[in-house]
Structure 1
């Protein structure tokens, strides 16, 4: 956090909500991969085996912790509203501009994202040369809020940041060790479920994670680095500060262009996915570089095969890594039956 310029970090382009809306464009795999065929296991099917986004993927791709206190709590933002100056440096006369309007009423549980991008960018883009500890913490909280609402837990609205997120980042000196990775996976699973509903034309949630997962494991629609033989430098400058595996997709890339996409839409890549064989899949993409991935990733390794519920506020989703053991280099046996009956599963998704 010692950098004087925050703009390329705090306001990185891919943290826009609009990036997290899936469409059926030629470079997008979200609607291509037959997610309407998914079941409660949140798995992608091919003619040979099930593939699943797991805690291992969250840990390796994004470097998020997958152990710790569940990300949950009250969803009443009124307490946080009274602490906006303390936590973000927003004066009282400015606070009414932060509230998201719903008709003639104002929603006290959501902060206006347009304010965050305009006012906060103007205010926080450059750290003052002479700054106190409180000012620095305002910058840090603003960055975390933007990251949570734009990349980790984006919703369909795209213009609001839930005020209750502030309750998670009050104490920056001795922060609570939350299970951020498990919450992201629960949020992704829930939106995968919602995307299977009839009539759904788009998907929200942390779809950038889904995109990184697909590029890492499947050759279809995978971009190529513009610089030949480019390789990421994992492990530097140290394992405590180095990039996660998804850094592989951060360099300038190019896509294979095809005029057929203009007339055929997603039919071509759908066929390509259906034509995949097991030899086309990178089952264990992290093995060769695992020792160079962040420390937090290596600490989470004992929990990759965790089978049970994942929590994010009101969302409860279950993960079943025993249904995709080949992703862990293990033999696939007959999975243990799902512990939830259909009625309980339906109730959890209301």
Structure 2
């Protein structure tokens, strides 16, 4: 943003989805197609032949969400409540917080989360939702990515709460009329008309006064703020590990924003579970350098100068003078002969397909051939 960093936090997840933040992280287990069959036989009450046929049709260790719904309906009618509950929960997480880009399948290994129905409440489901969304948002930042996985509703409702002037939304009830429902249920979908290119200048024109910095203060009767949301460290779910850095968005917690520490390298962190359990010291470290903000968007002197120096605060670059003309090297000029032009096109197409880099020795001959073809 042009006025500093913002992010979806654990407190946002707690208020929007009413998922528990405290709890353990999940350590995954590899699930083969054979084990995927055994799991639904043992924990969903499906016959061996039906399970084998279904897993085979999914071409991997997955289950179809529609199939899980049919299992749920069948066991509910038969009062087989344990089977019905597992089928429903797996279908629920597969279509929300763990949704992949197919939006029709769920990984079979997630059924392991619900083997012990009494114990599944011990996981940090809020962290699970946030880690998964962070991972897919990281993928979505790449130009080649065309679709977002995770739980887009979480992202969309977060935008509605913090940025009331951005996008189109319907409101089911105002916060004063809430009776304890997750805050995300306040909003209903409305089809927008703006494209990405239209939104970029709108975001660049936002000011701190366009932001509701603490939108959930009127929701505290149902979700009290938990100090663990100020934990600074790494979060993990399965094999995915992401940095969680509340010191970069302190205004969302009611504190004055200072210049934060360098970001964590989660690849170098070895005791994430221990850090999570003993979160108190990291919370002290985060808030000890700050103070309660006197205005919602307060920052320390020098913060914005630092931010503009190290980050990319604007999506649309400011107007610059037209670049001066530079002579084009002969090997960068387009080929004049049609045959050579065709050769050049074929080489460039292949190099793009394999994501080749010119510095890679194994492609040096091809890049040399490309330069030769373009010089004719």
TM-score normalised by length of structure 2 = 0.65
Aligned mates of 2:183, 2:209 — CA distance in 1: 22
Query: Closer, same or farther in 2 for the Cα pair 1:199/1:290, shift >3 Å?
Result: same
Whether the aligned pair in 1 keeps the contact of 2:15 and 2:183 (CA below 8 Å) is yes
In the alignment, what sits opposite 2:139?
Answer: 194
Match of 2:116 among 171, 181, 185: 171
Instruction: Determine whether 1:60 maps to 2:12.
Output: no
Selected match of 2:199 from 232, 247, 269: 269
The runs of 5 or more residues in structure 1 that have no matched partner are 1-45, 237-241, 346-350
> Which whole-Å CA distance do the structure 2 matches of 1:100 and 1:116 have between them?
15
- 2:212 maps to what in 1? 282
* Matching of residues 1-350 of structure 1 within 5 Å: 46-77=1-32, 78-101=34-57, 106-107=59-60, 109-117=61-69, 119-120=70-71, 123=74, 127-128=76-77, 131=79, 135-175=80-120, 177-218=122-163, 219-225=165-171, 233-234=177-178, 236=179, 242-250=180-188, 261=194, 265-291=195-221, 293=222, 297-298=223-224, 301-340=226-265
- Render the CA deviation track for 1:241-272: whole Å, top value 9, x for unaligned: x422112115xx656x76xx4xxx33333222
Greater relative CO, 1 or 2 (CA 8 Å, sep 6+) = 1
Give the aligned length: 267
Please say if residues 232 and 248 of structure 1, whose CA atoms lie closer than 8 Å, have aligned partners that are also in contact.
no
* Structure showing the higher strand proportion among its residues: 1
Do the aligned partners of residues 174 and 190 (structure 1) sit closer, same or farther apart at CA in structure 2, a change above 3 Å counting? closer
How far, CA to CA, are the matches of 1:333 and 1:230 in structure 2? 33
Give the distance between the partners of 2:233 and 2:205, measured in 1 at CA. Answer: 32
Contact in 1 for aligned 2:43/2:83 (Cα 8 Å) = yes
Q: What is the root-mean-square deviation in Å for CA atoms of aligned residues? A: 2.6
How has the CA–CA distance of structure 1 residues 316 and 84 changed in structure 2, closer, same or farther, with 3 Å as cutoff? same
CA contact 2:54–2:63 (8 Å) conserved in 1: yes
Instruction: Check conservation: 1:72, 1:313, Cα contact below 8 A.
Output: yes
Could you say what secondary structure the match of 1:60 adopts? Answer: helix
Aligned 8 A contact 1:113 1:160 in 2: yes
Change (3 A) 1:183 1:230: closer
Between the aligned partners of 1:65 and 1:304, the Cα distance in structure 2 is: 11
DSSP-derived class of the 2:68 partner: helix
What secondary structure, in the 3-state scheme, does the structure 2 residue paired with 1:47 have?
coil
Q: 2: CA distance between counterparts of 1:163 and 1:54?
A: 28
Report if aligned partners of 1:100, 1:112 keep a CA contact under 8 Å in 2.
no
Larger radius of gyration: 2
Counterparts in 2 of 1:148 and 1:322: CA distance versus 1, 3 Å: same
TM-score (norm 1): 0.69
Q: Measure the CA separation in 2 of the matches of 1:116 and 1:176.
A: 21
Q: Is the 8 A contact 1:62 1:244 kept in 2?
A: yes
